């Protein structure tokens, strides 16, 4: 009895794990079938629904624009030429100033006292010179005394001119017409050469600089006028004359081109504003124009999907210009071609397609 019981237990130890393993295998196989049934199986032969457009020639103006930044014609930080305490600041930020207009006055009281002292000396030297001149004519004194008196008088007059020049420099004046764009000191501060006190900016004329790709640089000539617009004032059109065409490329292989632009009467265009220089051909031409969203591929090799015989075929194209969300195509497409404009998910070269 014991032997039979022991044999039965051994058999159960072997059978039960096998049953558990079989159950797990069956369950896993069942789960796999359920999962596979839920996963989407893409059928490459099934036609992909897309939206398409039939191309035709369009009458468009060939317009190119290049973005840039307006800069002031002239801008400088003004400092004193001599040392002195600031007695008065006659302008503030935003003040319109004219060339020669007083801006800041420094304390010149000590210089004026020195000038008065020197005036007394000059009066005495002039009297001595007159007296020595009379005495020299009658040989009452040696000629060298007259010469010394004359040299002393001339030296004193040079000192007076120097003091007058220093006194004039205590009034700091505007070097050109402009607007005060920064006030860097106040009354009571100490002015010294090289220490900025005010910043003056001239925006009556502006410099407008853009970076032009090398392939478009031939469109710009020196001393020629081009249309310039400011992004902040789309209704204002300005004329910019080319003053500089860069001779060395910058990052991105573009060349700086600079224009001189007259501001509006109200100085609406400010330094640092963004704008565009616009190139427009006088005669509009018929072109193939497509939506920029239809373009695939890379910047160096743009492509579109052509629909031929119910299939999507990748086609290389050549782009001549972009206008907002439209692209002008100069090669690779012709009127009557049908291209895919939407529905690119799962789309590939040679895929079957159906147009919605």
- As for how many domains the chain has, the answer is 4
pTM of the model: 0.58
Say yes or no: 275 and 216 in one domain: yes
Query: 144 or 289: which carries more pLDDT confidence?
Result: 289
* DSSP tag of 24: H
Question: How many other CB atoms are there within 10 angstroms of residue 248's CB atom?
Answer: 6
* DSSP tag of 356: -
Considering 259, 280, 301, which residue would you say is the last residue of a domain?
280
Say yes or no: 225 and 239 in one domain: yes
Q: Is residue 174 part of a domain?
A: no
Say yes or no: 206 and 272 in one domain: yes
Q: Is residue 21 part of a domain?
A: yes
Structural domain range at position 6: 1-40
Q: What are the pLDDT digits (tens) for 60-83?
A: 666 778 999 999 999 999 999 999
Candidate ranges 128-132, 222-226, 250-254, 325-329; pick with highest mean pLDDT: 222-226
- The residue to which tokens 């009354």 are assigned: 187
Lowest-confidence pick of 31-35, 103-107, 268-272: 31-35
Q: Is residue 228 part of a domain?
A: yes
Q: What pLDDT sits at residue 3?
A: 62
DSSP secondary structure, 77-116, as one string: EEE-SS-EEEEEE---TT-EE-TT-EEEEE--HHHHHHHH
Which pLDDT band holds residue 14 (cuts at 50, 70, 90)?
confident
Q: Is residue 161 part of a domain?
A: yes
Say yes or no: 290 and 272 in one domain: no
Tokens for 18, please give them: 């096998």
Say yes or no: 274 and 299 in one domain: no
Q: Is residue 187 part of a domain?
A: no
Say yes or no: 164 and 216 in one domain: no
pLDDT mean over 143-171: 92
Q: What pLDDT sits at residue 268?
A: 93
Among 173, 178, 237, smallest CA distance to 205 is for 178
Q: How confident is the prediction for the chain on average, in pLDDT?
A: 88
Considering 248, 264, 280, which residue would you say is the last residue of a domain?
280
Among 192, 153, 186, smallest CA distance to 169 is for 192
Q: What percent of the chain has pLDDT over 70?
A: 91
């Amino acid at each position: 009895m014991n032997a039979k019981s022991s044999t039965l237990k051994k058999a159960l130890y072997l059978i039960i794990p096998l049953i558990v393993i079989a159950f797990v295998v069956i369950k896993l196989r069942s789960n796999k079938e359920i999962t596979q049934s839920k996963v989407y199986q893409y059928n490459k032969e099934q036609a992909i629904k897309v939206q398409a457009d039939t191309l035709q020639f369009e009458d468009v103006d060939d317009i190119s624009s290049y973005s840039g930044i307006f800069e002031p014609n002239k801008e400088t930080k003004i400092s004193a030429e001599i040392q002195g305490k600031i007695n008065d600041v006659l302008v503030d930020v935003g003040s319109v100033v004219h060339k020669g207009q007083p801006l800041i006055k420094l304390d010149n009281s000590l210089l004026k006292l020195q000038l008065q002292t020197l005036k007394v000396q000059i009066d005495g030297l002039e009297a001595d010179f007159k007296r020595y001149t009379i005495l020299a004519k009658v040989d009452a004194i040696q000629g060298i005394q007259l010469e010394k008196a004359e040299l002393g008088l001339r030296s004193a007059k040079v000192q007076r001119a120097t003091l007058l020049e220093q006194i004039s420099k205590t009034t700091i004046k505007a070097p050109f017409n402009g607007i005060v764009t920064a006030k860097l000191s106040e009354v009571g501060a100490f002015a010294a050469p090289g220490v900025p006190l005010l910043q003056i900016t001239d925006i009556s004329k502006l410099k407008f600089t853009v970076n032009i790709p090398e392939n478009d640089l031939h469109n710009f000539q020196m001393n020629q006028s081009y249309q310039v617009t400011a992004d902040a004032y789309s209704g204002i059109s300005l004329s910019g004359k080319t003053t500089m065409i860069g001779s060395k490329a910058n990052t991105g292989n573009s060349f700086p081109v600079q224009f001189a632009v007259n501001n509006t009467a109200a100085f609406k265009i400010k330094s640092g504003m963004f704008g565009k220089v616009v190139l427009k051909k006088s005669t509009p031409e018929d072109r193939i124009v497509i939506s920029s969203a239809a373009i695939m591929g890379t910047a160096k090799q743009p492509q579109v999907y052509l629909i031929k015989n119910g299939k999507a075929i990748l086609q290389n194209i050549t782009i001549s210009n972009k206008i907002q969300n439209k692209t002008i195509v100069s090669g690779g497409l012709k009127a009557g071609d049908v291209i895919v404009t939407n529905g690119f998910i799962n789309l590939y070269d040679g895929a079957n397609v159906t147009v919605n």
